[in-house]
Amino acid sequence: MDTDVPGSSGPELKEYTALLRRRRRLVCAGVLGGLVLATAGALAVPSTYTSVASVQVHPTEMAEFTGERSGRLTGDVNLDSEAQIVVSDRVTGTAAEELPGSATSEDVRENVDVTVPPNSNILELRYSARTPELARAGAGSLAEAYLEQREVQVHALIEGRLEALRAEQQDRYDDLAELTGENQMVAGTDARAEALRQEITDLGNGITPLSALRETVSPGQVITPASLPESPSSPLLALWIVAGTALGLLAGLLAAVVRDRMDPRLRDTEETERIGSLPVLLDLSVPGDRSGRSPGLLDDTTPTGQRANEFAHLVRARLAETDDGEDRSAALAATEGGEPAPGRVIVVTGTTPGRAGTAAAVNLAAALARGGSDTLLVCADPRTETVHELLGLSEGPGLADVLIDGEDPAELAVHPAHTPRLRVLRHGTAGTVAPLQGGAAELVELLRSRAEFVVVATASAGERADVHALAASADLLLPVVELGLSPRSDLTGLVTAGTRFGVTVPGAITVPRQPGPGPVPMPRVPVPPAPRRPSETRAAHADDLSRGSALPTSGGAASVGSRR
């Protein structure tokens, strides 16, 4: 398959932004839903109040017995151990007894959070509860219970040490009494007695400071009493809103991606290029009015009409590139023989039934004619209302008469009033269907000699196989994508058909969503004959003239005429 620009191998940034534009309602719904749910959840969750009490932990001056210098800080107290003591059963149980109600140590432990500020000997005790009063009472009771437990622990340690020293001192007194009472005349007893007296003195020197320490030791103090919280610590409405919005956005984006991947329809030009692996040569997807009947017949006075002209020049250049030596020889031979050079056949088909393919074909043919080329528009779609609407034509004989009765297309072609150098071969009288599939190759050869460019507007491939019948003999195949409605599979099917039939598919045309199609007329002739060749047609026409038969005429603003 020939294309001007290969499609991208995968999604790019612009395709993701296009996805956001297509699915913006879904993304906005996700954000709004997350915001609503977060707000409702924040209002539904019971409020929790937190009170903080700060306790400064004092060293016991007994580091050699307590190991207080081995903590994670370079201080006199191991605050890691103290934090664990705060949440111990003994401390939390004591605090629970001071709280109103029937709180247990486990309840207190679940509501406590102990933190240590860096480089300090401070414990921050946070207690959370349903009411400000209970939070303050919990933090205060916990601080008092901890200090009470630490004081009991320190006093017990000092008392234990004092008892040990006093017992040892008493033992030395007993030894000294026994030594001096029983061995007064034994040599060496004075030295032994003197040693015992020195030990007694040393033990006394240890007992005296411990006794003083027992009276003066301070386990710590509350430096910031628990205060009454003025506002709940949770839930934080702002935090819930931010989190809900973020989660809603994430859910909306995920839903948008999933919905977009599951959507079988083509939504924009970027997706058309990616799915079809071919460029969009003409984008007419900006709606012109609320009726949805866009595009209309374009002219040189609008930017969209200028884009159509650019597209016509691109088609001319693309067809010139596809000319090979055999085509040039045939054209030269035809010119030398006095006959017009064979024209180029462009098949334009929609990927959906209805107006899209015909409207694009009409504007392509009109743009080619405005550029100075003799152009013949062939209406192969049985739905004729679009051509009549855009070009102001009425019902009349056309393609069906060529295929069924062998009429000369040049004599049945009509000239629209406002588009010079454009001739239109209508589909046929009302209620007829042109049987293209019975003689498509002969029809293409017949039409080539009638104009420089022959634009054939066919029914969609999903309705009829006319485009497949014409593809093998055509020069270009242009699929028309109706954004928001055309299935992806239909576009890829047309591109695949172009490859199989050997016809060039240079790109696609995109149009906005169109009104629903009308019914397809039922054919009156089941099996028509194949179209006659030009020589046979002229001979039959001469016979008709000799018998006095009249030529068909057109109605409305159009006039009958041949190419010349």
Instruction: Of 124, 130, 94, give the one whose Cα is nearest residue 109.
Output: 94
Alpha carbons 478 and 323: distance in angstroms, whole number: 18
pLDDT at 4: 46
Angle, helix 237-262 to helix 24-44, in steps of 10 degrees:
150
Query: What pLDDT score does 127 carry?
Result: 94
Give the DSSP letter string of 299-331: -TTSHHHHHHHHHHHHHHHHHHHH--HHHHHHH
Which CATH number does the domain 269-322+341-511 belong to among 1.10.15.40, 3.40.50.300, 3.90.1150.170, 3.30.830.10? Answer: 3.40.50.300
In the three-class reduction of DSSP (H, G, I as helix; E, B as strand; rest coil), residue 230 is classed as coil
What pLDDT is stored for residue 74 in this prediction? 43
To 5 degrees, how large is the angle CA 246–CA 251–CA 257? 125
**Beta strands in 442-539, from DSSP E residues, in sequence order:** 453-458, 476-482, 508-511
Return the SS3 of 450.
Answer: coil
Q: Which residue has the tokens 């152009």?
A: 375
pLDDT value, residue 63: 56
Domain segments of the chain: what residues?
A: 15-45+235-262, 49-224, 269-322+341-511
C-alpha 490/C-alpha 541 separation (Å) is 41
Token couple for 26: 């879904």
Phi-psi category of residue 473: left, alpha or beta, with phi > 0 → left and psi -120 to 50 → alpha: alpha
Predicted pLDDT at 349 = 94
> What are 438's two structure tokens?
């019975």
Closest CA to 21 of 350, 489, 483: 483
- How many Cβ atoms from other residues are within 10 Å of residue 46's Cβ? 8
Contact 176, 246 (CB under 8 A): no
| Residue 421: strand, helix, or coil | coil
* Crossing angle of the two packed helices 237-262 and 13-22, in degrees rounded to 10: 100
Q: How confident is the model over 365-396, as pLDDT tens digits?
A: 999 999 999 999 999 988 888 888 899 888 88
Sites in the chain below the pLDDT cut of 50: 1-10, 64, 66-67, 69-74, 288-291, 325-326, 328, 331-336, 525-528, 530, 534-535, 537-538, 541-542, 545-564
pLDDT digits (tens, 9 = 90+) for 477-486: 999 999 989 9
Whole-model pTM?
A: 0.61
Q: Which pLDDT value is given to residue 1? A: 43
49-224 under CATH 3.40.50, yes or no: no
Q: Which residues of 525-535 are buried (b: 16+ CB within 10 A; e: fewer)?
A: eeebeebbebe
In this prediction, residue 29 carries a pLDDT of 93
Cα 447 from Cα 409, distance rounded (Å):
8
